[in-house]
Amino acid sequence: MTRKIKAQAAMEYLMTYGWAILIVVIVAAALYALGIFSPATYTGTRATGFANIGIPSDWAYFGDTQNFNVTLQNSLGQAINITGVSATSGTSDCGNTTGPLNTFLSAGGTAQFGFIACPTLTSGSSYSVGLSVNYILQGGTYPRVDTGTLTGTTV
């Protein structure tokens, strides 16, 4: 008789933990389905760096077509000549820019630049693009560089 009581106690013990584990698995599956465990859920659009020229006013990464577009705004208070813009996504170079290089950008003015050879990413995945802007102050002689990082989710 004591053997039957021990078996019943062991079975109740296993059933209690079994239900608890089942509930944890169901909750974890629901959280996964809602995208809680996806890093792209927590990646907002953010620009860091860019101490001199100013934070870009707008940008987008089109992962399926490998395009990255950015609009830069000159917030230096004087005109500049943009001599080069380069972008890297991870360890990959995004290729040459399609934008107004070697043209003066007035104070407060904007210019759009595009890159057509960035790595392919699925729509909704997170990205981090390093951007480097080479420029010369109007009337100046020495080249300057402003760098920063743009993060977000692909379109």
Domain borders along the chain are 2-37, 43-153
- Give the pLDDT mean for 44-63: 82
Q: Which amino acid is at 136?
A: I
pTM of the model: 0.70
With a cut of 70, say whether residue 121 has pLDDT above it: yes
Using the Cα atoms of residue 131, residue 102, residue 118 and residue 46 in order, give the sign of their dihedral: positive
Q: Which amino acid is at 48?
A: T
Q: Which amino acid is at 67?
A: N
Q: What is the DSSP string of 42-111?
A: T---EEEE--SS---SEEEEETTTTEEEEEEE--SSS-EEEEEEEEEETTEE---EES-TTEEE-TT-EE
Judged by DSSP in three states, 36 sits in coil
- Give the pLDDT mean for 20-39: 84
Q: What is the DSSP string of 12-26?
A: HHHHHHHHHHHHHHH
Average model confidence (pLDDT) for the chain? 85
- Are 79 and 107 in contact, with CB atoms under 8 Å apart? yes
Confidence band of 154 (pLDDT split at 50, 70, 90): confident
Confidence band of 5 (pLDDT split at 50, 70, 90): confident
The β-bridge partners of 75 are none
- CATH placement of domain 43-153: 2.60.40
- Tell me, what's the pLDDT at 95? 85
